[in-house]
């Protein structure tokens, strides 16, 4: 004789109804959220990885924001330097004109005055601010970096020789400024010194060829120094595309970690629904099944 089975079939049926309803519920949650991980317990390792993924992604977003701040600053710095280059070129042609022996002393004086104007213009450019901060004062961004001594006419640097380093992507930093003295009062070719000397030379009519050479040197030196900004701009542009790509990768990774494959989930859902219906139909049959008593009547 076989082992007596539990005559009550309902507990089994109810358990499987519960199971298929649970499956339906899971599939519905996954379909509506688009995620397979809806609670840490759904996949603890993925939930932990998502923490780092989200953090990484928000860091990237912040780096991109930093980059846009820097981009603005670098563009202003670069165009300011371009303006100074233009000024120097003007000074160069004025100097060459003044150095010509045929120019009268009066005309030379007039040229000298023009050069003085250029000097003042350059000091103004060297004091350029971006969003309220001086661009060329080293890490002193709240005080005017270049001032003209009222008595001697000499240009003083009030900034400092320090640079700042800013991270533009994980572990990748760039130098974010060139101190003003390095740009405009460089020992190997001082922009402000050359203009001052040119003014003096034109004024006194002496040392004019040397003063012109000095302006040429200053121009060369400025070109060398501005490379820092050009490089920085290149670097942040590269960084920008890297970060955009990284954000894409991270969102793909996030999708791999927690994203639901909708076709799979949809098929899970129909399977669960089918199982549920089958169990319900079986249950209804069991519940209404005739017993021996029905036949005895």
Partner 1 sequence: MGGLSASLNIATQSMLAEQGAIETTTNNIANANTPGYSRQVPNLEEAGTIQIGSLTYGTGVQLGSVTSLRDAVLDLRVNQETQQQGQLNAFLEGGQQIQELFNETSGTGLQAPLSAFFNSLSGLASNPSDLTTRQNVITSVQDLATAFNQTSNNLNTLQRNTDLAVQQSVSQVNSLTAQIAQVNQQVVTATKSGENAGPFEDQRQQLINQLSNYIDVSEIDAGDGGLTLTTTSGAALVVGNQSFALSTQANPTTGFQDVYSNGSDITSQITGGALAGQIQIRDQEIPAMQNSLDTLAYNLSTAVNNQNKAGYDLNGNPGGNLFTPLTQVQGAAASLTVATTDPTLIAASGTPGPYNTAANINATGDNSNANALLALQNQNIVDGQTPLSYYSDLVFKIGNDVSTAQTTQQAGSQTLLQLQNLQGGVSGVDINEEAANLVRFQTAYQASAQVATVINTLLQATINMVT
Binding site for partner 1 (CB under 8 A): 3-8, 11-12, 15, 33, 35, 37-45, 47-52, 54-55, 58-59, 61-63, 65-66, 69-70, 131-133, 137-143, 158-160, 162, 164-167, 176-177, 258, 291-293, 296
Q: Nearer to partner 1 by C-beta: 55 or 261? A: 55
Cα–Cα nearest to 274, from 29, 32, 24: 24
Q: Nearer to partner 1 by C-beta: 5 or 105? A: 5
Q: Is 183 helix (H, G, I), strand (E, B) or coil?
A: helix
Rounded to whole angstroms, what are the CA distances from 283 to 9, 143, 253, 276? Answer: 9, 85, 44, 10
Q: Nearer to partner 1 by C-beta: 98 or 179? A: 179
Shortest gap between Cβ of 244 and partner 1 (angstroms)? Answer: 17
Shortest gap between Cβ of 215 and partner 1 (angstroms)? Answer: 27
Q: Nearer to partner 1 by C-beta: 181 or 276? A: 181
How far apart are alpha carbons 121 and 115 in whole angstroms?
A: 10
Task: Locate 16 and state its tokens.
Answer: 């499987």
Bridge-based pairing of strands 172-175 and 133-134 is unpaired
Cα–Cα nearest to 196, from 220, 172, 214, 219: 214
Burial (CB count within 10 angstroms: exposed 0-12, middle 13-18, buried 19+), residue 59:
middle
Shortest gap between Cβ of 15 and partner 1 (angstroms)? Answer: 5
Burial (CB count within 10 angstroms: exposed 0-12, middle 13-18, buried 19+), residue 83:
middle
Q: Nearer to partner 1 by C-beta: 25 or 213? A: 25
Shortest gap between Cβ of 129 and partner 1 (angstroms)? Answer: 11
Shortest gap between Cβ of 6 and partner 1 (angstroms)? Answer: 3
What does DSSP assign to residue 63?
H
Shortest gap between Cβ of 35 and partner 1 (angstroms)? Answer: 6
Q: Nearer to partner 1 by C-beta: 187 or 292? A: 292
Residue 129 in contact with residue 135, Cβ under 8 Å? Answer: yes
């Amino acid at each position: 004789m076989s082992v007596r089975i539990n005559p009550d079939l309902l507990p089994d049926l109810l358990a499987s109804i519960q199971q298929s309803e649970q499956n339906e519920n899971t599939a519905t949650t996954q379909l509506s959220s688009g995620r397979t991980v809806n609670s840490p317990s759904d996949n603890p390792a993925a939930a932990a990885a998502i923490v780092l993924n989200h953090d990484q992604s928000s860091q990237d977003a912040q780096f991109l924001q930093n980059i846009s701040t820097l981009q603005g600053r670098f563009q202003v710095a670069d165009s300011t330097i371009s303006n100074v280059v233009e000024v120097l070129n003007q000074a160069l042609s004025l100097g060459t004109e003044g150095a010509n022996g045929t120019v009268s002393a009066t005309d030379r004086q007039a040229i000298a005055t023009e050069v003085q104007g250029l000097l003042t213009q350059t000091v103004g450019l060297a004091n350029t601010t971006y969003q309220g901060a001086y661009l060329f004062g080293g890490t002193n961004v709240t005080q005017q970096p270049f001032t003209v001594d009222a008595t001697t006419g000499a240009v003083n640097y009030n900034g400092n020789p320090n640079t700042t380093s800013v991270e533009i992507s994980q572990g990748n930093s760039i130098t974010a400024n060139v101190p003003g003295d390095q740009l405009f009062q460089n020992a190997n070719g001082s922009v402000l010194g050359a203009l001052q000397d040119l003014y003096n030379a034109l004024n006194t009519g002496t040392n004019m060829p040397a003063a012109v050479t000095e302006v040429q040197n200053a121009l060369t030196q400025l070109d060398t120094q501005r490379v820092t900004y050009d490089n920085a701009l290149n670097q942040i542009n590269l960084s920008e595309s890297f970060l955009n790509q990284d954000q894409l990768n991270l969102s793909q990774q996030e999708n791999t970690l927690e994203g639901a494959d909708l076709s799979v989930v949809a098929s899970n859902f129909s399977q669960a629904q089918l199982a549920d219906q089958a169990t319900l139909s079986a249950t209804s049959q069991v519940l209404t099944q005739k017993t021996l008593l029905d036949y005895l009547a």
